[in-house]
Amino acid sequence: MKKIYCIIGCLLLNISIVSAQTEGITYQAVLVDNNPDEIPGIDVPSNNLPNKELSVQFTILDEFGTIEYQETQDTTTDDYGTINLTIGNGQTTGESLGGFNEINWDGPKVLNVAIDLSAGSNYEPFSSQSLTYVPYVRHRNLIADGFTDLNGDFSVNNESLATFTGDVDINQTLDVESFANFKDRVTIDATMASTDQSDINAYPFLVSGSSHGMAIKLNENIPGRKDNFMSFWNNQDEPIGRIEGFQPNQALLDFASISSILFDFEPTEDDEPQEPEDGEEPEEEEIDRNDYPTDFPDALDTYFNNDYTLDYLMYSMDIVLATFDFFWDAACYITWVPGVDADIDDCVTAIFDVFIQGTQLALYLGYNEYNKGVAFESGGADYAEWLMKYDANEILHFGDIVGVRAGVISKRFITADHYMVVSKNPIVSGAMPKEDEMDNFKQIAFLGQVPVKVIGEVNKGDYILPSGNGDGMAIAVAPGKMKVNDYNRIIGVSWSEYHGNELFSYINTAVGINSNDLTQQVTAMQAVMNQMQTVLSQLSPNYEPSYFDAPNVSISHGNQMTTSQPLSEVIMEQYGINEATNSKEALLKINDLMESHDANSKWFKFSDLPYLNEVMTNPSQENIERARQAYSKAQKNIELITQRLN
């Protein structure tokens, strides 16, 4: 008789973690024989199938009926016909898209079960049932479609990874007790309850808990003026300040690179300046800043766009031109040039100038190498300090003129030790008072540019003086109309002008730069006193006049101002060149100095100057002519580059 078997199974709705930390779904079933062998006259109940070998196939399908996972497991029923299996521990079939741990639990799932009682591969479908969220809600790949409410804590344990590929909104406090790595932009958009600058809780970004505040590390190895550590914008997205790098990239820009421009660049016809035809006005050249020599690494405007690199180029051009002069003098001396008188002294003077230029370039590069830091850029243009008001209730506005008496200010001071102006937007402000005392102080400009309230017309270069009325206003006085008593009242010098009809105007004024404004008056008085000395000496033959230093006046020793020796004389004395007995010996001393410099200099070497070493060691006509031709070409390129940079 044909036997029909029935499996009574149940899918336990929990997760089983077995060896190697493989997760799975526990599955239990009981095999029952509904048609046992019949015995005449005896009712035979259904019998379980004990100790029966069989194979089970589990298949998990998505909502479209696609197999996501399939496995088989060989097993044996126990004495009671029961099997206990963990879905996920079986042998994955070729129909499976991946392992059990790779199942994407997003969306509905169906579990199909098939068995083969012969423990072979002839599987017969047994059951098909939907999997609800319960069996896999706690699986490591938690995917929430729609809103997910967590009424308790959300913990990711065992150093596991939690990945969010979409937006995450956190409406409460987020506590991170270890490192947090953000690999994209972080935006803090916080509306703070307090706007008081003295309230620490008014700031959206707070760093605390350490002896240090915040470290900013840029990708650039050598941050320059175009690499900003921090920038500031207003609410109109207008940049108003920045903290930028201030370190030249000497590794990318060296003298050899500059030489490649000066000596190797071949200008085209378009590069040469065009001469205007007769009767035509010369056209202003439209310079394409990207149309520079291409053999230099990247375009010139990439490298010569700041003070350091531009000065580097200028120093380099100076030394190349000085070397050209030396080769010219050498050519005139070694091989006579008609109409040109040159001797060994001219050669010594020229090569000495090369040495001076090279020494200055080396010192410039060395100074920039060892003086690194950051630069502050801001719309503010003055340095200010907080000074105490004479009257705490006095209202002071930017541009107001105040008198200063022993460090106390008031615009009502008609007579004062100094006259200064209230700052508008200082880039740096010193001597900051305590928060609860700020109303008693005001920021006063000490140095830089600041707007000043001036009555009447103003011309550039006018002196800005207090009005003398104690009203906080100023007046403009032309230098030629200044009186002696005006000089100790100077606030600054006007760098803008005004010729309108308004009661007053805000004039951009340079303050803190008037240390020598009495020079003209003192010079005039010295000239008058010198004339008086001359008259006295004429009236009394025994009177010895004592003259002051003054322009166009001959005085004792012939010195009209204190000066130093020329740099060339200082170097000649320092290195003993002035002790040479003849010009050839001096030339050898300079050559020894250059070789010594090259042995100790890191940034510039005289040996980097093309042909210089060849001419110094072997001043043959052939070597001098080759050098002269190369430097003639460099001279033309310097003229072209100078024209373009201007």
Higher pLDDT: 82 or 578? It is: 82
pLDDT in tens, 579-599: 777 777 888 888 888 888 889
pLDDT in tens, 539-565: 888 888 877 655 554 444 444 444 556
User: Cα(141)–Cα(417) distance, rounded to whole angstroms?
Assistant: 77
Q: What is the CATH number of domain 5-136?
A: 2.60.40
Whether 276 has a pLDDT exceeding 80, the answer reads no
pLDDT confidence tier of residue 239, bands split at 50, 70 and 90: confident
pLDDT in tens, 594-632: 888 889 888 888 988 998 888 888 888 888 888 888 888
Whether 27 has a pLDDT exceeding 50, the answer reads yes
Contact call for residues 60 and 89 (beta carbons, < 8 A) = no
Contact call for residues 96 and 69 (beta carbons, < 8 A) = yes
pLDDT of residue 515: 56
Whether 273 has a pLDDT exceeding 80, the answer reads no
Whether 182 has a pLDDT exceeding 50, the answer reads yes
Of 106-115, 167-176, 549-558, the one with minimum mean pLDDT is: 549-558
pLDDT in tens, 482-531: 887 788 889 999 999 999 888 889 999 999 876 556 666 677 777 778 88
Chain length of the chain: 646
pLDDT of residue 157: 67
- Which of 130-134, 458-462, 486-490, 518-522 tops mean pLDDT? 458-462
pLDDT of residue 288: 40
pLDDT of residue 259: 81
pLDDT in tens, 303-356: 566 667 777 888 888 899 988 888 888 877 766 555 555 567 788 888 888 988
pTM here? 0.50
What separation in angstroms does the CA of 83 have from each of 3, 12, 45, 399?
20, 13, 21, 93
Cα angle for residues 344, 346, 350 (degrees, 5° grid)? 120
Q: Once rounded to an integer, what is the mean pLDDT over residues 78-96?
A: 90
Q: Residue 202 in 3-state DSSP?
A: helix
Whether 450 has a pLDDT exceeding 80, the answer reads yes
Mean pLDDT of the chain, nearest integer: 77
pLDDT confidence tier of residue 93, bands split at 50, 70 and 90: very high
pLDDT of residue 183: 81
pLDDT in tens, 50-69: 888 889 999 999 989 999 99
pLDDT in tens, 390-445: 999 998 999 999 999 999 999 999 999 899 999 988 888 888 888 889 889 999 99
Of 25-29, 112-116, 287-291, 566-570, the one with minimum mean pLDDT is: 287-291
pLDDT of residue 641: 76
pLDDT of residue 124: 87
> Which superfamily is assigned to 378-511 in CATH?
Head decoration protein D (2.40.300.10)
Residue showing tokens 């060989």 = 74
User: Cα(619)–Cα(616) distance, rounded to whole angstroms?
Assistant: 6
What ranges do the domains of the chain cover?
A: 5-136, 255-276+285-371+579-645, 378-511, 527-554
pLDDT of residue 289: 34
pLDDT of residue 21: 46
Whether 125 has a pLDDT exceeding 80, the answer reads yes
Q: What is the DSSP string of 424-462?
A: SS-SEEES---GGGGGGEEEEEEEEEEEEEEES-B-TTP
pLDDT of residue 519: 61
Q: What's 102's DSSP letter?
A: G
pLDDT of residue 549: 59
What separation in angstroms does the CA of 361 have from each of 88, 121, 458, 567?
75, 88, 43, 14
User: Which segments of 483-597 are extended strands (E)?
Assistant: 492-494, 504-511
What own/partner pairs with CB < 8 Å and gap ≥ 24 does 513-520 have? Answer: 513/447, 514/463, 514/490, 517/463, 517/487, 517/490, 518/487, 520/479
